[in-house]
Structure 1
Amino acid sequence: MIIGSGTVAIKALIEIGGFGNLFEKYMAAIPNPIPANLTQCAMPKEDSFLMLRSLSDPDMPWLGFILGQTPASIWYWCADQMMVQRLLAAKSLSHAQGGALFAGYLKILPLFLIVIPGMISRILYVDQVACVDEVQCMNYCGNKYSCTNTAYPRLVLGLMPSPLKGLIMSVMLAALMSDLSSIFNSSSTLFTCDIWPRFRKNATVMELMIVGRAFVIVMIAVSIAWIPVIQEMQNGQLYLYIQDVGSNLAPPIAAVYILAVIFKRINEPGAFWSLMVGLLIGITRLVLNLIYLKPECVEGDTRPTFVKLHYMYFAIFLFWITVIICTVVSLFTEPPKDYLLIRTTYWTRHSVEERIDEKVDMIGIEAKTTVTNGSYIDTEMIDSKDESKQSIIHQFVTWFCGVTTNDQKGGGEVIQHQPPGETNIYTIEQNKKARVCLLVCLTLVICVAITIFVILSIPGWWHIFDH
């Protein structure tokens, strides 16, 4: 994917005569025709090449970005189940940190492989990508607000030869399907493991499997039903819509996550009620955004202040509201028990004490325990019926849900458990060489990111590429 997008970026730059022509040609990329009342909307913004802008900028205010986008990033990269499951699959702490740093370096590339080619797409296909007339936009992309979402696909289809078109588009779709699969599986895992057992405490493995797969189907249906809402609310800018939604929901999770890691006094009631209040505030703003749609650029914004407040500034407000509620409620309620803090905070991460709740409680476990060749095996037998006595419909449902039985071998499914008292605790210790190498890589990626932000926020930086 990187090679393909890099090829597209290089070919696009060659098409406009190099990076030195990008600014001049982009500012001259004005669509035609332009309705008389939408001239301002069709003109490229003078600060289009600035990354961090004034405090009142409607797109990227520098203070809102630094303080407001950070909670959303912390939630996504540190607490989102889809990301966490990848890190937990790492071989060691060094591998997990190395993977995160590698992702950090890759995050620098979209600026050069996606953003800049997207701007070139406006230059090459100005009427299609930068259209502002509702009729024209509907003809070009089926969206009456804007066709900016089609900028990159249109560039790929317009510049690449036929074999590469299909290859690059298939790679993009494969990446999209990978993300969707991870999201659906993560949602299914959370529902099956955390929510469903509260209603069915003794659910069988087969039941949990069926519930998990059924929940994926429900999530797919909800996603499809949400498409019209996205089309109506995004105003032709899907990326900004995604960031807006994330800023309404992510800050409470990030706040509780940070407090739980660094503050030993935070307890369950504080986390619960702060999350509930933060979620209520965020959902309220989401609903109000559905009611009070964002006006076009030529119209005055008459929405309530709570709604028209920039989503990055709202994220700051929501983050600190959650921090205050979580801290106050925790201080006025019973502190967490000492054993719950073992290896769960930054200050106790190296503790080797044994947690009470990690001891295997054999009371109530319906299992057969045998010793074979001196090794301990704890087996849980899952009863199953003879497939020959099942109806065709039942066999189809069993096959469709991926549930298999071992009756033909003379027994049920066997689940092996680890012997009590021998649960492995994986260490987070690192050797000095790995720690120093990771620290150097971390320092380097931070310096590169800060340098890019600073340089691309200086007015006139693009003149260094003038001929």
Structure 2
Amino acid sequence: MSLDFSLLDYSIIGAYFLIVFAIGYYFSRQERSSTEYFLAGRHVGWFAVGASLFASNISTEHFIGLSGTGYMSGLATGNFEWSASICLLILGWVFVPFYLKSGVFTMPEFLERRYSSASRWYLSSVSIIAYILTKISVHLFAAGILLKQVMGWDIYTSSILLVVVTGVYTIAGGMAAVIYTELIQTFILLAGAIALTWIGLDKVGGWNELVANVPAGHMDMFRPMSDPEFPWTGVILGPYIVGIWYWCTDQSIVQRVLAAKNIDHAKSGTVMAGFLKILPVFILVLPGLIAYALHQKGLLLPGQELSPNDVYPVMVKELLPSGFRGLVVASLLAALMASLAACFNSASTLMTIDVYQKFRPQASEKQLVNFGRTSTIVLVAVSLLWVPLVTVLSDQLYVYLQSVQSYISPPIACMFLVGLLWPRANAIGSKVVLWTGLALGMLRFILEVIHKNSPFSNPFLKTMIEMNFMHFAIVLFVISILLLIVVSLATPAPAQDKLDGLTFRFAGQVKLDEEYKIENPIRRRQNMVASIILLVMLLVLWIIFF
């Protein structure tokens, strides 16, 4: 089902690759300290921060997953996108001041300062393993589906090409190259996605025709509590627990705000990304509904079955004229490469700062940068070794890999959030919560896999395993909070002099000796106004699509 590409299509795709390589080459020629290589010298402006936050999050699985889920279930999956806007505001207003004032390079480093080195080792290990075993494989799996159908490439060709190209500019230019390529990639992926949505909506006959040709409830963001996929009870809480972990504590996201010029630019970047996260509902989920309406009207694959995984590539093939096809393929490549680059760069930062530097505290700046580049090369090699496994991934295993996030995120979100709000939380409580949470999450995951193949008859086990994953995330988050409170109260309190600048109670007890840690009152008011406008927009949208 590959497309017939014109010279214009190939020219657009070629221009995209030239831009990416040019940015990587430019930054590779500059001398790099560890701060410059891993945090772009903390000189990144708010616009680039916001675009980078958005682009590093959107990948090919969004194009497949959101359009496919929109086709099958409607707009309800969009709650995860709009809740992300709230989580980005939480990142900017709650977490960013502490992260930047502490001067940390990584999230595990912050967790060590707040609790203990054991917490740092746990988060470093879990993060690196998760990047390699789940994120990279999921990105390549989704890319394989799209590029095979759109370009006719087999998964080996697409995976090897994209991993190598992304690895080259990430290794050469470091964080600066990653962020500024993501800035360009944001415009490209938005242009491609908007073009397809606009053309599809015009083809279906406009908004009223779309609403008339999709099932009842497909335009609603909230579903009954009995809904197996998106119960309102899960939707109003679950996405925020996973979201706080992902948007506020995951290295691949937070590293972008750590690279900002100062707290004001970091906050502005999170607000901008919050506005951008409104768009996927309309440019990635909505195309799924458009495909459903077109299929019902006999205007898209009449008389044929349309698989959810095929929705986006089929629309690209059937609806787009020459030129637009190249633009959309460039947007797909941009989405994948931005996410892969985020994984490579953040994992190498963790390996360098949280592993190598811990064992070699006297390492020079040049040694740190060289190890960062070497570790990225290793990650690229591991990714290539993953390719044969990705070819045998089933849709079901893809879903399993995605669900792991809901099982490991609640304890980590609890540690960061409660750690900032409650100074009494201590290192012993953190150990108990992290390891208990991991055990419970993995137990649910393993039992779920077993239950799919050989269902349990025990009522309690069956109820726990079949519980909606968002409900499970809520339960695990509550258990984690209770454990942290009980264990911390039952053991000695942390030394107060070690909490300076790490909790709200001791927020002011940190020396602001560097410019990037200082806020400007005027910029703060501007960010506050923009944040309020974003919240009002979200409220209005939720009311409209209630």
Measured against the shorter chain, the TM-score band is 0.5 to 0.7
1:216 aligned onto 2:375: no
The structure showing larger relative contact order (alpha-carbon pairs under 8 Å, at least 6 residues apart) is 2
C-alpha distance in 2, partners of 1:15/1:128?
12
Deviation at 1:293, TM superposition (A): 2.3
Contact 2:214 2:289 in 1 (8 A): yes
Which of residues 513, 517, 527 is equivalent to 1:427? 517
Deviation at 1:198, TM superposition (A): 5.9
Deviation at 1:346, TM superposition (A): 2.2
Deviation at 1:15, TM superposition (A): 0.4
Q: Which runs of 5+ in 1 are unaligned?
A: 28-45, 141-146, 296-300, 355-422, 458-467
Distance 1:307 1:228, change over 3 A: farther
Q: Which runs of 5+ in 2 are unaligned?
A: 1-188
Deviations 1:427-450 (A, max 9, x none): 33322x222211111111112112
1:173 aligned onto 2:333: yes
Deviations 1:137-171 (A, max 9, x none): 7xx7xxxxxx2122122212221112221221122
Equivalent position of 1:13 in the other structure: 201
Equivalent position of 2:287 in the other structure: 117
Equivalent position of 1:308 in the other structure: 466
Distance 1:89 1:104, change over 3 A: same
Equivalent position of 1:264 in the other structure: 423
Q: Percent identity among equivalent residues?
A: 33
Distance 1:450 1:148, change over 3 A: same
Deviation at 1:210, TM superposition (A): 7.1
Distance 1:281 1:130, change over 3 A: farther
1:82 aligned onto 2:172: no
Which of residues 314, 318, 321 is equivalent to 2:476? 318
Which of residues 313, 327, 330 is equivalent to 2:488? 330
C-alpha distance in 2, partners of 1:312/1:241?
14
Distance 1:283 1:260, change over 3 A: same
Distance 1:105 1:123, change over 3 A: same
Equivalent position of 1:52 in the other structure: 222
Deviation at 1:182, TM superposition (A): 0.8
Task: Kindly name which structure, 1 or 2, has the bigger radius of gyration based on alpha carbons.
Answer: 1
Contact 1:269 1:333 in 2 (8 A): yes
Question: TM (normalized to structure 2)?
Answer: 0.58
Which of residues 339, 343, 346 is equivalent to 2:497? 339
1:103 aligned onto 2:253: no
Equivalent position of 1:37 in the other structure: none
- Larger displacement relative to structure 2 (435-444 or 204-213): 204-213
Deviations 1:31-53 (A, max 9, x none): xxxxxxxxxxxxxxx42221111
Distance 1:149 1:126, change over 3 A: farther
Equivalent position of 1:26 in the other structure: 214
Distance 1:125 1:226, change over 3 A: farther
Equivalent position of 1:247 in the other structure: 406
Deviation at 1:307, TM superposition (A): 1.4
Contact 2:242 2:410 in 1 (8 A): yes
1:161 aligned onto 2:321: yes
Equivalent position of 2:528 in the other structure: 439
Deviation at 1:318, TM superposition (A): 0.7
Contact 2:300 2:318 in 1 (8 A): no
Equivalent position of 1:453 in the other structure: 542
Distance 1:342 1:199, change over 3 A: closer
1:192 aligned onto 2:362: no
Contact 1:341 1:348 in 2 (8 A): yes
Contact 1:55 1:62 in 2 (8 A): yes
Deviation at 1:353, TM superposition (A): 5.0
Deviation at 1:189, TM superposition (A): 2.2
Contact 1:244 1:311 in 2 (8 A): yes
Equivalent position of 1:41 in the other structure: none
C-alpha distance in 2, partners of 1:168/1:219?
29
1:278 aligned onto 2:448: no
Aligned-residue Cα RMSD (Å) equals 3.3
Contact 1:342 1:351 in 2 (8 A): yes
Task: Give SS of 2:394's match.
Answer: helix
Distance 1:343 1:128, change over 3 A: farther
Deviation at 1:22, TM superposition (A): 0.9
Deviation at 1:315, TM superposition (A): 0.4
Deviation at 1:200, TM superposition (A): 6.7
Deviation at 1:105, TM superposition (A): 0.5
Contact 2:261 2:516 in 1 (8 A): no
Distance 1:241 1:120, change over 3 A: farther
Which of residues 216, 220, 231 is equivalent to 2:394? 231
Question: TM (normalized to structure 1)?
Answer: 0.67
Deviations 1:299-330 (A, max 9, x none): xx998222111000000011011111122222
* Corresponding letter in the other structure for 1:212: S
C-alpha distance in 2, partners of 1:218/1:326?
39
